[in-house]
């Protein structure tokens, strides 16, 4: 009945002030409250009292609170409901004398939220100490849902009055972010902000609305099925991502929450929006990657249902430019696939992560992506010229002519370098003094395997098996893993592939396991430690690798080995699985090579005990560097304090290479250090002869080593290792310049 009265009030089409005034009177009477007030968020993060029943009328449009200030500001800042029987004793209480609210003891308030953004706050107050129950809070949230549509539609304040101010709006801007996918793209901005206006909020017939919801769900399922049928979605992790989203469409728990919202008197579209806003309010501050990914998928599903329920089956793409740069707060994978792939040039996300579902799909489509760009949506107008520089993790908005010319020159130089590197593809990776170096690629997705042929790499020096685990909603069984690993070997076409066993924990979380809550995740329960404590997980993966090999050579590498005993435990599990395959008559690998990742410095003093038991050693410089210098590589304050070309690290690597040579064990480096020409020069100078890197680094590193006299470099670095310099980087640069080494 309250919703119907509110609908009638809004239908009378008075001024915004009159409408909101009638709303607060209606709500106050219905909830038996002496006060009902509506605060609206204005530019500059200020909440302004727009309407009240019970407070002094003269306070309207005069009383203002910053977000986070007072109880009203706290509700907006936290985006969650608050109910207090003694509001004035709360430490956040902020008294405004012009309101006359000192006589009101209890308070309940809820944020007015639309699509995850707080637009204002709805508050009721009473003179007596009153315990507001859960049903009353839900009633306020439903009313706030109605108000949100009114505010979002510009019916209260104009859109430009609530937009954050960013200086002179049309000035060129450069925004820094996080590289999610490399590459450079030039195009025009397309704002992926459906902001679908909900015209009807209050239901006239609940059974009709439930039927409309069911019809929309059927239509959305059909849309996703059509995407799965596309030719470029038939295999790979991007298909798995979309299949996971397809399962999410059928999530019964979420369906029930939508049905409950509709049952409270909302239309189907308002119920869908209310259910999503409730979820985002509860989970929006979560840092767990799985929860964030579920919210992205839920936003995608919400938008699809709203499009269907409001009579639009998909975004209208007819008027979009031919060179689209899509800008979004975050996206689900299916939303990206709605855009014409032939016209899509780049993607910019306010949020996002390297392993988010949309990033994996974008990588498969070779689209540059920059994420973590702050409030970029508020700084861009549709059609603005843009540059997405995925290589350097930056975005140029409305770039000046000088920037455009510079980027164009960069693109031309990039294309020229690619042509030159392509010419090196079939030439040997050999120095000028005839030292051969093996160049391999690092991979983690099936899409990466195509780079073997493109780059002419000798093989895959590191295949990260955890990425397919991270994009699934449940642990893959042996059959699924075996198919994937077999496909990797098929695509390698006889070239060697080193499979690293599951390396999760730390900053890599499995959706179906969650974070482990370690105080220091990088040095916590992760990698081989999980595999040894949960041997069923490791044995299942090893079984799948053995099945996938099927008569072909198999190379298995165990990560983060800190003690020889750990390696022996892991090796024993591998031997058990090989024996099991033989007993069952399963075609086993033609040969099994076993190695470890050298990441933990303690292993350096155990090499003579370890080397006789392994076939190869692969140095993971990313973790080794942070453990060696006790510097968290995820902490911007210390991550770059220590250089990976320091004499300390190079001296350690020189020692490791020497022990490996004495035991005739192959050594490679597969960390990021291997993919930069200057760093690769340093590695070659201390004796490393096998490097594994991102595919794009093969060309530059090969060009460097083919112009290098390694004997001279070794002599120069040998003198540098004895010094206590902070870094040999500048020494190596000067050497390269003096000896025409291409870096």
Dig out the tokens for 112 from the structure: 């007015």
Of 192, 440, 670, 676, which residue is the catalytic one? 670
Dig out the tokens for 490 from the structure: 């098929």
Burial class (CB in 10 A: 0-12, 13-18, 19+), 290: middle
Classify residue 436 by its DSSP letter. B
Q: In the β-sheet with 46-53, what is the strand arrangement from edge to edge? A: 64-66, 46-53, 35-42, 117-126, 106-114, 82-84
Indicate if 670 belongs to the active site: yes
Q: Where are the alpha helices (DSSP H) in 589-728?
A: 607-610, 621-628, 647-662, 677-685, 698-706, 710-721
Q: Where are the alpha helices (DSSP H) in 44-87?
A: 70-78
The answer to whether the CB of 577 falls within 8 A of the CB of 592 is no
Going by C-alpha positions, the residue among 177, 185, 176, 170 that lies closest to residue 384 is: 170
Of 192, 238, 357, 451, which residue is the catalytic one? 357
The answer to whether the CB of 674 falls within 8 A of the CB of 624 is no
Q: Which helix (H) or strand (E) holds 36?
A: strand 35-42
Neighbours of 102 (CB within 10 A): 10
The answer to whether the CB of 283 falls within 8 A of the CB of 298 is no
Backbone angles phi, psi at 644, to 5 degrees: -75, 0
- What is the C-alpha separation between 494 and 204, in angstroms, rounded? 66
- What is the C-alpha separation between 62 and 50, in angstroms, rounded? 9
Going by C-alpha positions, the residue among 703, 705, 620, 729 that lies closest to residue 668 is: 620
Q: What pairs with residue 738 in β-bridges?
A: none
Neighbours of 246 (CB within 10 A): 16
The answer to whether the CB of 236 falls within 8 A of the CB of 364 is yes
Going by C-alpha positions, the residue among 655, 656, 697 that lies closest to residue 678 is: 697
Q: Which helix (H) or strand (E) holds 181?
A: strand 178-181
- What is the C-alpha separation between 523 and 525, in angstroms, rounded? 7
CA-based radius of gyration for the chain: 30
Active site residues: 357, 670
């Amino acid at each position: 009945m309250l919703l119907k009265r509110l609908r009638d009030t809004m239908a009378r089409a008075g001024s915004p002030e009159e409408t909101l005034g009638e709303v607060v009177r209606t709500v106050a009477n219905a909830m038996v409250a002496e006060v009902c007030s509506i605060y609206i968020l204005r530019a500059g993060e200020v909440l302004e009292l727009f309407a009240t029943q019970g407070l002094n009328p003269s306070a309207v449009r005069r009383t203002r609170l910053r977000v986070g200030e007072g109880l009203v500001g706290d509700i907006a800042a936290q985006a969650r409901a608050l109910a207090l029987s003694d509001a004035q004793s709360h430490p956040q209480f902020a008294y405004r004398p012009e309101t006359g609210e000192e006589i009101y003891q209890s308070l309940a308030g809820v944020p007015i939220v639309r699509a995850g953004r707080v637009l204002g706050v709805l508050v009721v107050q009473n003179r007596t100490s009153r315990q507001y129950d859960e049903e009353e809070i839900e009633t306020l949230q439903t009313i706030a849902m109605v108000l949100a549509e009114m505010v979002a539609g510009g019916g209260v304040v104009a859109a430009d009055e609530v937009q954050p101010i960013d200086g002179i709006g049309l000035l060129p801007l450069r925004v820094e972010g996080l590289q999610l996918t490399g590459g450079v793209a030039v195009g025009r901005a397309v704002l992926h902000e459906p902001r679908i206006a909900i015209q009807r909020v209050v239901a006239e017939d609940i059974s009709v609305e439930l039927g409309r919801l069911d019809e929309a769900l059927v239509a959305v399922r059909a849309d996703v099925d059509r995407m799965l049928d596309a030719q470029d979605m038939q295999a790979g992790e991007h298909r798995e991502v979309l299949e996971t989203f397809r399962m999410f469409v059928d999530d019964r728990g979420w369906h029930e929450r939508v049905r409950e919202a509709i049952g409270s008197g909302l239309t189907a579209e308002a119920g869908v929006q209310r259910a999503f806003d409730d979820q985002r309010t509860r989970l929006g501050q979560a840092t767990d990657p799985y929860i964030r990914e579920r919210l992205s998928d839920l936003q995608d599903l919400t938008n699809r249902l709203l499009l269907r329920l409001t009579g639009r089956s998909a975004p209208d793409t007819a008027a979009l430019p031919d060179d689209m740069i899509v800008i979004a707060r975050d996206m689900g994978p299916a939303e990206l696939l709605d855009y014409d792939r032939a016209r899509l040039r780049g993607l910019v996300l306010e949020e996002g992560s390297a392993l988010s579902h949309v990033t994996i799909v974008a990588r498969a489509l070779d689209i540059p992506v920059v994420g973590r760009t702050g409030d970029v949506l508020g700084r861009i107008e549709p059609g603005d010229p843009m540059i997405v520089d995925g290589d350097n993790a930056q975005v140029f908005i409305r770039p000046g002519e000088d920037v455009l010319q510079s980027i164009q020159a960069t693109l031309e130089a990039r294309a020229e370098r690619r042509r030159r590197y392509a010419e090196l593809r079939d030439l040997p990776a050999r120095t000028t003094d005839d030292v051969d170096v093996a160049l391999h690629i690092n991979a983690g997705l099936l899409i990466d395997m195509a780079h073997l042929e493109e780059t002419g790499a000798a093989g895959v020096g590191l295949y990260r098996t955890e990425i397919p685990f991270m994009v699934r909603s449940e642990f893959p069984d042996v059959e699924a893993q075996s198919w994937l690993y077999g496909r990797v070997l098929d695509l390698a076409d006889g070239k060697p592939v080193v499979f690293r066993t599951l390396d999760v924990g730390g900053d890599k979380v499995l959706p179906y396991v969650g974070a482990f809550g370690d105080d220091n995740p990088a040095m916590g329960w992760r990698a081989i430690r999980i595999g040894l404590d949960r041997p069923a997980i490791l044995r299942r993966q090893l079984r799948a690798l053995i099945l996938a090999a099927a008569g072909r050579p198999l190379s298995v590498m165990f990560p983060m080995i800190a003690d020889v005993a750990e390696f022996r435990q892991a090796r024993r599990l591998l031997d058990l699985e090989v024996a099991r395959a033989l007993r069952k008559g399963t075609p086993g690998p033609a040969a099994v090579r076993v190695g470890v990742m050298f990441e933990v410095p303690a292993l350096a003093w155990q090499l003579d005990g370890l080397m006789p038991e392994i076939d190869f050693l692969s140095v993971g410089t990313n973790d080794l560097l942070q453990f060696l210098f006790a510097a968290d590589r995820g902490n911007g304050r210390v991550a770059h304090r220590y250089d990976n070309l320091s004499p300390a690290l190079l001296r350690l690597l020189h020692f490791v290479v020497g022990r490996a040579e004495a035991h005739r064990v192959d050594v490679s480096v597969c960390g990021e250090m291997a993919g930069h020409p200057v760093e690769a020069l340093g590695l070659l100078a201390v004796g490393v002869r096998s490097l594994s890197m991102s595919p794009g680094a093969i060309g530059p590193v090969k060009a460097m080593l083919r112009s290098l006299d390694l004997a001279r470099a070794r002599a120069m670095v040998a003198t540098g290792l004895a010094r206590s310099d902070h870094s040999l980087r500048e020494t190596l640069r000067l050497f390269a310049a003096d000896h025409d080494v291409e870096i």
